[in-house]
Amino acid sequence: MADQKIPGLLRGLLKFSSDDLKKFADKIRDTHVLQTRKGIDAFGKTFKEYSRSYRSKKAKRGFAKQISTQVSPPDLTLTGKMFKKFQVMTTRTEPELQIKYGIKSNKDGHKLAKNNKTRVIAGSNRVGPLVQKEVVKMFEKNTQKNLKAISRQRLKVTL
C-alpha cells in the first residue's frame, strides 16, 4: 500500500504551478539575454568576431541610437531594441513543461535569425551554459519548494 503512494509523491516533487513556471521562464529569458551580451554562444564558445568595418564603426559610435560600443566579445547589442523584444511567449505545465521565448516582431525576429546564422544564440536543442545552469536552478528551487510542502503532509502508512 505504501508503494502506491510513492509515485504520487515523486510526481508532486516535479510539479510546477503556472505562476511559478512563468517566473522561472522570465529568469531563463533574462539569463539568455545576459549570456548573449557576454558574447557566449549556444555551445559555450565566444561569438565569432564582428567584421573589421562593423567593429570600427560600432567602437566609434557610428550608428544612430547606439547604446553599446562593445566589440569584443561581440554582444549583439547595438540599439538594444532586439533584446527588448526578446520575450516569453508561452509556458505550459501539461502534458509536459514547455517554455517558449523569442521575438514576435517580424523585423527584429529577422534580425535575430540573421545573427543566429553567424553567431548561434540558440539551436539544435542548445541554449548555452548559463541558460542550462538556470534551468537546473529552476528544477532545484521548485523541487525544494515542493519537498517542503510534501513534508508538511501527513502520510498514513499501513503495514
On the 0-12 / 13-18 / 19+ scale of CB atoms within 10 A, 22 is middle
**Residue-by-residue pLDDT tens, the chain, 159 positions:** 445 555 677 778 889 999 999 999 999 999 999 999 999 999 999 999 999 999 999 999 999 999 999 999 999 999 998 899 899 999 999 988 999 998 887 777 888 888 788 899 988 789 999 999 999 999 999 999 998 887 776 666 677
With beta carbons less than 8 A apart as the criterion, state whether 31 and 25 touch. no
